[in-house]
Amino acid sequence: QSVLTQPPSVSGAPGQRVTISCTGSSSNIGAGYGVHWYQQLPGTAPKVLIYGNTNRPSGVPDRFSGSKSGTSASLAITGLQAEDEADYYCQAYDTSLSGWVFGGGTKLTVL
Amino acid sequence: EVQLVESGGGLIQPGGSLRLSCAASGFTVSVNYMSWVRQAPGKGLEWVSDLYSGGSTYYEDSVKGRFTISRDNSKNTLYLQMNSLRAEDTAVYYCARVRSPGAAFDHYYHYYYMDAWGKGTTVTVSS
C-alpha cells in the first residue's frame, strides 16, 4: 500500500487528453514541498517529467502539465501519442516518515 | 553529459551481503544530494536511502540498520552496502541525483527532485 494513491491504470485514444491523479495527506503533498512526476517507459529507468508541481525540465513536451491542490496533485497529458504508453509515478517528501514517498504508479495505455 | 552507472547486483542468499556501486560522470557526487531507489519485480518505486552533500544520511525504515549509503570522492562513486539481505530486498536498484528546483530552494532539501537516474542493477535474494 503506497503512501500516495494513484489509479492503477488509465487509457485514451491518440490525440485525447488524460489525467492521472495522486492523492496524499497533510504530511506529504499537503506539506507543500512540491510534487514530482516520473515517466518510466517499458524496461527503462524513470525519467523526471514534472518537478515542483508544475515545472517541466527542458526537453519535456508541453503536452505534459502538472497541477496541485491541497493534498492532491494531477498530471495531464494532451494530444496523446503512442510513445506516451508508460508507467507514471508521483513523488513527494513525507515529513512524518522523514523520507521520499511515491505513488503506486499508473499504467497509461494508448488505445 | 550527466551519467550514472550502477553495478554490483547479483544473486545472493538470504542473510548475505552485497555492495552496490554507482559511478557518476558529468558532475561531482560529493557536492550533490544522491539517492538510492528500488523497484521490486512488477512493483512501483520505493525510496531506499539518501546521502546529502554535507554527509547526512537517511534510510527507509525497512533497511535501517542493514543498509549503509556512502561515497568515495576520489572515484566519484556512490555506494550502497547491503547486509542481512532478505527476499523482500529483491529489486532493481537505481541511483539518482537529487537536484534543487531553483536557487531559492537550495537550502531546503525537501523541495528537491530526482533529475538523473542510472539504468539500475538487479539484486535477487534467494536460496
How do residues A32-88 score in pLDDT, each as one tens digit?
999 999 999 999 999 999 999 999 999 999 999 999 999 999 999 999 999 999 999
Interchain contact A64–B (C-beta under 8 A): no
Please say if the pLDDT value at position B29 is more than 90: yes
A48, A55, A104 ranked by CB distance to B114: nearest: A48
- The pairing of beta strand A99-102 with beta strand A86-94: antiparallel
Q: C-alpha grid cell for residue A19?
A: 489525467
Check CB contact under 8 Å for B117 and A2. Answer: no
What residues contact residue B121 under an 8 Å CB cut-off, 6+ apart? Answer: B6, B7, B8, B9, B20, B92, B93
Burial class (CB in 10 A: 0-12, 13-18, 19+), A34: buried
Quote the CA–CA distance of B57 and B79 in Å, as a whole number: 12
* Buried/exposed code over B40-77 (b: 16+ C-beta within 10 A; e: otherwise): eeeebbbbbbbbeeeeeebbbeebeeebbbebeeeebb
Quote the CA–CA distance of A106 and A108 in Å, as a whole number: 6
Model confidence over A93-110: pLDDT tens digits? 999 999 999 999 999 999
Model confidence over B68-125: pLDDT tens digits? 999 999 999 999 999 999 999 999 999 999 998 888 888 888 899 999 999 999 999 9
Contacts of B59 in chain A (CB under 8 A): 99
pLDDT score of B105: 86
